[in-house]
Amino acid sequence: MLKCVFYKNDGSFSGFRISGHAGYETENGDVVCAAVSSATMLVCNTITDYFKVKADVEVLENQITLLLKEKNKSAEQLLESFYTHIEMIAQDYKKVKIEIKSGGKEND
């Protein structure tokens, strides 16, 4: 299962943690994982490299986390758009679970 946790602070999106594997095909052939991975990389790179927003980004085996370290309207809007994108994928693929939590602390 692919678990997508999005974080909100003060009503605005502030980060996410994507973990797991959708399991529709092998890891290297799973179109759902590829779609989510590609969108995740685009969001991380846009926030850090193009918007130049300070963020904690952690990449582990089957997990990526991004947490904004500062308020930035463009980054927050991009995270909201990313949430909508993942939500649409989750509607079509039941092995993708999505939720919203406050903050962005460990143990999610």
Per-residue pLDDT of the chain (108 residues; tens, 9 = 90+): 999 999 999 999 999 999 998 878 766 678 999 999 999 999 999 999 999 999 999 999 999 999 999 999 999 999 999 999 999 999 999 999 999 999 765 445
The whole-angstrom distance between residue 19's C-alpha and the CA centroid of its chain comes to 9
Domains of the chain: 2-102 (3.30.70.1490)
Q: pTM here?
A: 0.91
